[in-house]
Structure 1
């Protein structure tokens, strides 16, 4: 069985407006050196996929900069490779609703030319708001063995650890693994089985349902496509048990990031011999620690200068922590500069933030204090 990939870069931008004001959900920085798209893209590459389309709508300059020609994922190829697929918008279209490519179904319809040119047996569809390391080769084998038309990856979420919103889809799966119903999350607490926003679909089947959706003016991928065909066609679920996080708010981004300070969580997500997570490689100098520096339980990228105290925090490349400064339970993105005697707690700084001497900024794990890109405080 052969497969191509389609990644949705913008579908959930509105859930984290603080981080997506100047970028797509796909290019949100994560874990000190990665972008959210790295998880979906690496999963596809690890499954032997060599043709990937990235469906995007707007704000995709940073996404293009990150992906480049795809060489860091071994996708700089003469045949196949990776392609950015912006929406096709005419002057007439743009004068209307401005929503072209804004939903999953819109994006698929806009990518119909890419889909029609594919010769692969199946297409793997993936969102960028989820953080996981799924063995897509195993999902493909399960899909083929069952003779499925459509396979969705599911996972079990503990609502005490991961918040869910109404966009989460809760499938009903019978003993044979067949999906019999799908409902929106209604607020139940405890452990809930949800869709991991990864799907496998037969290419010819997808072409048929997209043609039907266009002819009937359908708008929703779940309500108008999946639910409409659920009882008549072969829809199955493949369960995933590894690390799973969903970025659906600034709080959830903060919590997902902080979970990686736990060694077992990092091993579960990153340290799988046959399933590495790839990202854009940058050549940077090692981080320099001053004699008075103190670092405890933190992830610190290359090219940082640490002269103060860092605890339970994540620092991206090029961050400077000044003398007498204390950084606790915080996320400092690329090239953040803190002056001397600064106090930060539960703070998220975007790229190129400058915090002057003596500032004290404090948030909470349920409401982290966010400082936008390029802001001086």
Structure 2
């Protein structure tokens, strides 16, 4: 395989989500009871044998830096594998869902030119899938294309995965030729100005979870309760890695009732949980019921409370006998650290 590096863009916003999660960037959004969105592209690159990865950081990057650390959980931070946290432009906060700003690429030109790589794998963070890039790299190499774009088919429509393999020399040329258009996304420039570029397509035919609003976030988490979805996303042949936090096993009291739910370690379940995803160290008190909901880390649901179609950020305290019901289309969301 020719030398390949990875470039993950975390410096973009999706307005409906970022307006809620506020202080943490999109890539640091918790998912699936113990993971964050950044874990999926990082793990895919690691499992594909890509030893050098850069992450274009968002402005609000504290949570992301805290989660990634030196990258050891993904096999980086060693002599042979390198993980770089790269600066992102402030403009990335304004461009709604523009994944690969040319300004960010120019700003990190030295990384892209790192060690004379042949290919660069570009990844976003809000489309979740488990993919080994080796077959895609092989197709790209054999085709001789400048760019190969990954897509999947849903409901008869082609859906781009915000994932592509681009020749390093082609990427450098674009950065050199179109520097005056650095406020545009890379794919927009290729689409509008490079009609003669050789662009290939690679179909990915496994499970993809797309998160573009709070409805998608709730639906995506709850889809993990389906065996086939969970087995595809967390395929043991391509493990999804994360920053491990040691917790005691979850305690299920005699009064607890749990049905079709995903519950992380460190929780205390005394009440009823149905069709829900519960993150670490949350406490569901006796007489409380949580249904069709996502509770992030360290949440506390008091006696008699009832939550349905509810997204609860970290360290939220739900008082006694509080009843909150959203809908699947418009789930009720409570920000971090609130008391309701």
The bucket for the TM-score relative to the shorter chain is over 0.9
Q: Is 1:83 paired with 2:84?
A: yes
* RMSD (Å), alpha carbons: 1.6
Map of 1:200-219 to 2, 5 A cutoff?
Answer: 200-215=165-180, 219=184
SS of 2:104's equivalent in the other structure is helix
Name the counterpart of 2:334: 371
- The Cα shift of 1:8 comes to 0.8
CA contact (8 A) 1:40 1:127 kept: yes
Q: Is 1:311 paired with 2:312?
A: no
Change (3 A) 1:57 1:118: farther
SS of 1:16's equivalent in the other structure is helix
Name the counterpart of 1:152: 149
Change (3 A) 1:357 1:120: same
Q: Is 1:133 paired with 2:127?
A: no
Change (3 A) 1:244 1:79: same
How many aligned positions are there?
Answer: 334
Change (3 A) 1:64 1:218: closer
SS of 1:198's equivalent in the other structure is strand
- The Cα shift of 1:226 comes to 3.6
d(CA) in 2 for partners of 1:216, 1:338: 50
Name the counterpart of 2:308: 345
- The Cα shift of 1:246 comes to 1.3
Question: Of 285, 291, 294, which aligns to 1:322?
Answer: 285
- The Cα shift of 1:316 comes to 0.2
Name the counterpart of 2:319: 356
d(CA) in 2 for partners of 1:271, 1:222: 30
d(CA) in 2 for partners of 1:302, 1:224: 46
d(CA) in 2 for partners of 1:334, 1:131: 21
Name the counterpart of 2:91: 99
- The Cα shift of 1:50 comes to 1.1
Question: Of 260, 267, 292, which aligns to 2:231?
Answer: 267
d(CA) in 2 for partners of 1:20, 1:53: 24
SS of 1:54's equivalent in the other structure is strand
- The Cα shift of 1:195 comes to 1.0
CA contact (8 A) 2:41 2:123 kept: yes
CA contact (8 A) 1:354 1:374 kept: yes
SS of 2:163's equivalent in the other structure is strand
d(CA) in 2 for partners of 1:31, 1:216: 38
- The Cα shift of 1:116 comes to 2.1
d(CA) in 2 for partners of 1:217, 1:344: 46
CA contact (8 A) 1:76 1:82 kept: yes
SS of 1:156's equivalent in the other structure is strand
CA contact (8 A) 2:146 2:199 kept: yes
Change (3 A) 1:100 1:334: closer
- The Cα shift of 1:135 comes to 2.0
Name the counterpart of 2:161: 196
d(CA) in 2 for partners of 1:79, 1:14: 38
Name the counterpart of 1:117: 114
- The Cα shift of 1:113 comes to 2.1
- The Cα shift of 1:12 comes to 3.0
Name the counterpart of 1:167: none
Name the counterpart of 1:92: none
d(CA) in 2 for partners of 1:78, 1:262: 40
d(CA) in 2 for partners of 1:79, 1:267: 31
- The Cα shift of 1:15 comes to 3.9
TM-score normalised according to structure 1 size: 0.85
d(CA) in 2 for partners of 1:219, 1:257: 32
Runs of 4+ in 1 over 4 A off after TM superposition: 100-103, 215-218
Q: Which runs of 5+ in 2 are unaligned?
A: none
SS of 2:320's equivalent in the other structure is coil
- The Cα shift of 1:215 comes to 4.7
Q: Is 1:57 paired with 2:67?
A: no
